[in-house]
Structure 1
Amino acid sequence: MSPRSPGHPTGPRFGYGTNGLTDLRLDDALHLLADLGYDGVGLTLDHMHLDPTAPDLVGRTRQVATKLRALGLSVTVETGGRYVLDPRRKHGPALLDADPEDRAVRIRLLTTAVRVAADLGAHAVHCFSGTAPAGTDEDTAWQRLADALTPVLDAAGRAGIPLAVEPEPGHLLSRLSGFHRLRELLGDPAGLGLTLDIGHCQCLEDASPADCVRAAAPWLRHVQIEDMRRGVHEHLPFGAGEIDFPPVLDALAATGYQGLTVVELPRHSHAGPQLAEESLHFLRRATQTAAAADPQNSTLTTPGGHI
């Protein structure tokens, strides 16, 4: 295939998360997404895709950067690998662990992700708070989180890469209000941004997903998107949940968000190639519907032309 220019001048820029393509080699996944017409990729650092703990990370990152440029794909670096650090503890060690040495392991992963992101030319590095150990009082947990993220923010600032924290159901930082609590604890640093997962908004927030987009706009650095039901944290293919997507895409366009909007289906790798194709068709149709409903929004165009 011939390489494409990264992104589109107007309208949403769609990506697909490699955590939903774990049955594919990374090169195969990138070629698939480029062939389908995606603008970019949410690259989860994990043992199957650009393992951050394996030898010669710099050389392997250079190869991936070359491939991304050849395919015309933008990238966000994501750090949600379930067992990348501990084969027996999901998302462990965590930023909120009682043992400072355990917290340091997670901090090192995030600072490594910042270096990888800089070498790839990524537009953001994603992370999340994790869960606090049982018996940890709330103030202690929040202070641990702020202290742990300080060196990561310093590294991100030196690299010129925004750090985009994701509110995650079940974690200490689970809602948009938690992001603002963290922001205030840290003194509102310029490099601290937000990853907004549209499904999580449907799951937990009082406001609609479209209203969440508008409220988050000043801090929005990365967007994940999938379907979901109210009160149930289960990432679903588009059409299997409750979200009305045209208003969400309209809100994203109206805010001027320029980053990737990445499909997040981490439990559907068995059908990854099929769902990647179906997801892009769905999002393009939803973009057309949003544009027809809001002709005043000149930024809403259909990526990749007609379907």
Structure 2
Amino acid sequence: MVKEAHSSIISGVLFGAGAGVFWGLVFLAPELVPEFTSLQLVVGRFLAYGVISLILAIPKWSYLKKTISLSEIRTLLCLALLGNTLYYTLLSNAVKLGGIALTSLILGFLPVTVSIIGSRDAEAIALRRLWPSLSFCIAGAFCIGAQALTTRSGHPVTGLFLALGALASWTAYAVGNSRALSRLPHLSVHDWNLLTGLATGFQAVLLIPIVVFTTRNAHPFNEWMQFSLVAIGVALAASIIGNALWNRMSRLLPLTMVGQMILFETLFALIYGFLWEKRWPHPLEIMAFIALVASVFSCVRSHHRHLSS
């Protein structure tokens, strides 16, 4: 039993790392289509996510209709809002108004908030055993923020509240999604991801009128083509593949570890950023990278010891 639990932890961490590989690509999307607004990118990405999910769900639609209830549909709509539509809207606007430093510092507390909630679960590891891991996580967040302090912002207070909103939104999603998956063992993680995609796509459709009425800039055909390719690419990589890996991880790991796995997104976003900017990391960025890696390994070690005790 203990051996199986250790194996689940290792597999879960690998799935979490895989999700980070694909989720980290999201941070490159605004750089690839700078002519478009954050809301346009949100709608484009999640509309593509919804369409792809619909295409993949059609062959098994009769089965999916029988396996989900009205209560689960409400859960899907809520999770789609918290983890996709609302979170990404708050995040992208927090970066624009509050700057990278402020946003990264606030969101660096995601593993802390999720772990604190997870520590209240039955048979969960005691929170005091996770403080070394959480301390590394906080140190990494401060290193990232300190490096980006030169980023100027005209609306720091608004940016702060948006970042706090994003933190609360994704914390609620991580906890709710993990617990929903544990309640629905009859649904595969792939099917759950497709259903989440349908819910997210529905919300993206509702946002289209807002985009139309708030956007004044016209774009040439070649810019729309590039935007479409980026939206579809991010939807496939981050939303279809990345979310599927994350859901698989959520079924294998306790909630006290789930929050830590979001650090892989930060790690790979840093790597992609260095490659995009064609530069080596600065000293503080290296320190942040080391601290985040140490946080994950420390978390895994604490859970291994908890299982063995």
Question: Normalized against structure 1, the TM-score is what?
Answer: 0.30
- More helix per residue: 1 or 2? 2
Higher-RCO chain (CA-CA 8 Å, sequence separation at least 6): 2
Greater CA radius of gyration, 1 or 2?
A: 2
Q: What is the TM-score of this pair, normalised by structure 2? A: 0.29
